[in-house]
Structure 1
Amino acid sequence: MEIFRKELKLKRKKELELETTLVGPHRDDFLILADGIDL
């Protein structure tokens, strides 16, 4: 979570300039497992 916060802080100015988001859950791939099974 700390890495995510740092990325948000680093990208904030550029995001405002571009009027879009550069980091976030919609920009990343997540692997979600339940009992070792990929959901």
Structure 2
Amino acid sequence: MISNEETITLSPYMGIYERVVPKDNMLRQINEIVDFSFIVKEIK
């Protein structure tokens, strides 16, 4: 999703996301489709 920009670690528990959220979950699909990189620019 964020390719050529800095990655922000929001939580030390983000690794759990890969294990707990099913691959076919709607939130994963949204995350793959929508480019949220504008949020990183706004935060800076």
TM over 0.5: no
Higher relative CO (Cα under 8 Å, sequence separation at least 6) belongs to 2
The TM-score range, normalised by the shorter chain, is: under 0.3
Report the structure, 1 or 2, having the larger helix content. 2
Report the structure, 1 or 2, having the larger strand content. 1
TM-score by length of 2: 0.24
- Larger radius of gyration between Structure 1 and Structure 2: 1
